[in-house]
Amino acid sequence: MIEIQLRVLDPEGKPVPGARVMLDSDTFEMQDIAALTDNAGFVRLGVFPNSITRIACVAEGYKASQKFLEVGENQSEEVEIRLRR
């Protein structure tokens, strides 16, 4: 697995602490992988290389958001997700 860092921001670019970030993959069967962002809006999670991973994010007071990510074998990623109200 490859570790990715995600940061969840509000529409103004401020961090969203306590946002729930969930992952699933079209290539590999994954158990429900989820984590909460820290006070700076960051969370680190592992993804399978060479697969497409769906990143879904929800937080109180915001609309749910999702993004698709493909990470190569020797690549690390930092992903930003902006939530809408």
Q: 69 lies in which domain range? A: 2-82
DSSP 9-62: E-TTS-B-TT-EEEEEESSS----EEEE--TTSEEEEEE-TTEEEEEEEE-TTS
Which CATH number do you get for residue 59? 2.60.40.10
Per residue in 44-71, pLDDT tens?
988 878 888 889 999 999 999 999 988 7
- 9-21 average pLDDT score: 97
Q: Structure pTM?
A: 0.86
How many domains in the chain?
A: 1
